[in-house]
Amino acid sequence: MRIAIVGAEVGRALSASLRARGHIIVYGIREPERSDERNTKSVREALKGSEAVILATPWVLTEALVCEHATDLADKIVIDATNPLNPAMTGLALGFLTSGVELLQSQARRAKFFKAFNATCVGVLARPDFPEGKAAIFVAGPPGPDKTIVKRLAGDVGFEPIDAGELRAARLLEPLAMLTMQLALGKGDVAFVMARRQPGMDHATNGRAMVAQEAE
């Protein structure tokens, strides 16, 4: 798949793993002549011909970029890895009643937006394996084949993709990014690992354990 990555640090962390799985990566930046990254183009040229787009820009630039390139984003899978931080970067500028990615979707209605890769550390993007298991990546967006592609890309990077529900679930995922930042502050990389229990199994198991204890 040909993927346009718009943004620097997060984009570089994702690109190596995606290239290793056979994806073609094109970087899109405003001044490509100033970059030493291979296959770097203007944003418009990078979007042209790409099947998927990963937005990894600072939030203060993201809305304007999406508005400017709304036509270029039409009919493309757009993975929003940004977080709507306020100018002081002390909290979210949006939250709970809406989300940054829902705002972006309203600015480029023909694009197919998903939220993913936002609630994790840059170091985890490069190394998602932990002793406890694969780091989880939560994916919010409309169900269907496009979401399957987004989840597959998360798996290609090395994460366990978790379906978080419709795009409105990003109202929870963006605050989750703030928790990740707080937990990681001065402590290195942190990640969430998914644990599961089959419905009803815990009650049956606990019940047998209680009976055995009473018999003793």
b (16+ CB within 10 A) / e for 113-122 = bbbbbbbbbe
Tabulate helix, strand, coil % of the chain (nearest 5).
45, 20, 40
For 192, list phi and psi in degrees, rounded to 5.
-100, 135
Structure-block tokens of residue 104: 């972006």
Which of 58-62, 71-75, 171-175, 196-200 has the weakest average pLDDT? 196-200
- The angle at the Cα of 157, spanning 90 to 103, to the nearest 5 degrees, equals 40
Structure-block tokens of residue 60: 């203060």
Cβ atoms 15, 37 nearer than 8 A: no
Q: According to the model, what pLDDT value does residue 212 have?
A: 46
12 Cβ contact partners less than 8 Å away, ≥ 6 residues apart: 37
Q: What is the pLDDT of residues 122-131, one digit of tens each?
A: 899 989 999 9
Rg of the chain's alpha carbons, rounded to an integer? Answer: 19
Cβ atoms 139, 166 nearer than 8 A: no
Q: Where are the alpha helices (DSSP H) in the chain?
A: 9-20, 43-47, 59-68, 70-73, 100-107, 122-126, 145-157, 170-184, 201-215
Q: What is the pLDDT of residues 130-170, one digit of tens each?
A: 999 999 999 999 999 999 999 999 999 999 999 999 999 99
Of 84 and 211, the structure prediction assigns the larger pLDDT to: 84
Is a pLDDT exceeding 80 seen at residue 208? no
Q: How many CA atoms lie within 13 A of 25 on its CB side?
A: 21
Cβ atoms 168, 144 nearer than 8 A: no
